[in-house]
Structure 1
Amino acid sequence: MKKYFWKISLPFAAAWLLVACSGKNEDAVQPADNAITIRDLPADTAASMGEGVDGKTKRPFYTITFSFRTQQTHVIRNAADSAAYLKNADWDIAFSKEYNSFVVINNGKVAGTPGYGGPGTGNLVIVDQPFDNVTTAPADEVFEQQGIAGVGWDNGNGYGWFFYSLNNHICVPVRNRTFVIKTAKGQFAKLELLNIYKGNPPVVTDLFWPAPYLTFRYYEQTDGSRNLKNK
């Protein structure tokens, strides 16, 4: 059980600029950002889809759970892990399936998901706007009508977080798409999924680039409101 997080917190700072033409000083203030960025969270890096990959074994990928509140992860390898770590509301999202690329919420009523049978009340809606522009969680009716259990490959239907080519087998993240989440305990959060490759490279051309190392950004509102302003 480990914590992997990077809290982006830019304190207010004043930068005095000398303007030659007017002789006036102006304050340049950088607003604080309360979002958290997780960089290179190692998922199931020992599994592989095929045979003969150095240091890896061909087998199904273990599910990795993640808590917004504590940044704690658990690896679900077997029934004992499932019983200990899945059937509770202590985690909010899980990374599952091939290369841990399918991101699923914790909802005890959705059959086939890791949290099924537990007390989680999670839900997820897609908002095609940049992360910082999403400042309010949708109404309950939107979650009820448009909510989905998880996101993965966008095959053209607008529901995923990455594009995937059957020609080169490389994942390319969808930009300016935010996922608003009702957490396992009924709070609201927003999530930006940034990369599955180590180092969060802007472009990947190598099929064997180290993966899955997950980079994502999120902001959870803990006061019970729908306010998702991270700045």
Structure 2
Amino acid sequence: MQKLIFTVGIVTFLFSCNNGDEPAPVVPLEAILVEDLAAPNDLIDRNSGQILEERPFQFFSLEQNQLVNENEDWDMAFKGTTIRVNSAKDVSASILTGIFEEVTEVPASAVFAKDTATSFAIPTGSGAGWYNYNSSTFTVTPIPGRVILIKTTAGNYAKLEILSYYKGNPPVDQINPMTTPSAHYTFRYILQTNGSTRF
């Protein structure tokens, strides 16, 4: 199983009242950074469109903060630009337009969806879900201000932002689609572990 690097940073600090007198600190939620999760797409013949090698999805547990096997409690699965959710375990997703740090709770208006036989909860295609594809530069870049909400296998909520599709998270102007390895996800997420809709 591929080794991933996780970096943790404190993003927010919340306070609650103690007996109505002084604010008492609450354990802060933590932002988790996942770097270079490799999830290569199928190898396809560019001329015929035939699949030469079918590659597996990479299954990730937000609750465990690691790659897991398909028969375990995974939340999201990655392959190429496609992201699946574990609908069999009631995992669902909602796409928001907003600033990651400013999304402090699950909006009442958020519509959560599951994968079906004909559609994905996180839509594929340029401009439809989490990324744009530039046909001039042949590059895939995350859509700015796009936040993905996930309801996990444990029934908890997470907010997630994809930062890069290329190994090493290079600046966009330094991506060479011929030489920069793609399908290496860098993303950050905050998981609320107590079932609350607040982050």
TM range (shorter): 0.7 to 0.9
Separation of aligned partners in 2, 1:58 and 1:69:
34
Q: TM-score, normalised by structure 1?
A: 0.65
What does 1:26-175 correspond to in 2, within 5 Å? Answer: 34-44=30-40, 48-50=43-45, 58-74=52-68, 85-88=69-72, 90-96=73-79, 99=80, 101-108=81-88, 120-139=89-108, 142-143=110-111, 146-149=112-115, 150-151=121-122, 153-156=124-127, 159-175=128-144
- Percent same amino acid at aligned positions? 31
Q: TM-score, normalised by structure 2?
A: 0.74
> Pick from 206, 214, 226: which aligns with 2:185?
214
Give the greater-gyration-radius structure (CA): 1
Say if 1:94 and 1:137 are closer, same or farther in 2 by CA, change over 3 A: same
Structure 1 position 7, deviation (Å): 3.0
Separation of aligned partners in 2, 1:132 and 1:105:
23
The answer to whether the 8 A contact 1:105-1:124 is kept is yes
**Residues paired across the two proteins, number:** 173
Q: Segments of 4+ in structure 1 off by > 4 A?
A: none
Separation of aligned partners in 1, 2:140 and 2:123:
10
Describe the superposition over 1:164-192 as per-residue Cα deviations: whole angstroms up to 9, x where unpaired: 13343210211111011111221111110
Higher helix share: 1
Say if 1:106 and 1:160 are closer, same or farther in 2 by CA, change over 3 A: same
Give the equivalent residue in structure 2 for 1:14.
none
Higher strand share: 2
Say if 1:33 and 1:226 are closer, same or farther in 2 by CA, change over 3 A: closer
Say if 1:160 and 1:194 are closer, same or farther in 2 by CA, change over 3 A: same
Give the equivalent residue in structure 1 for 2:4.
4
Structure 2 portions without partners, runs of 5+:
12-27, 116-120
Structure 1 portions without partners, runs of 5+:
12-31, 52-56, 75-84, 109-119
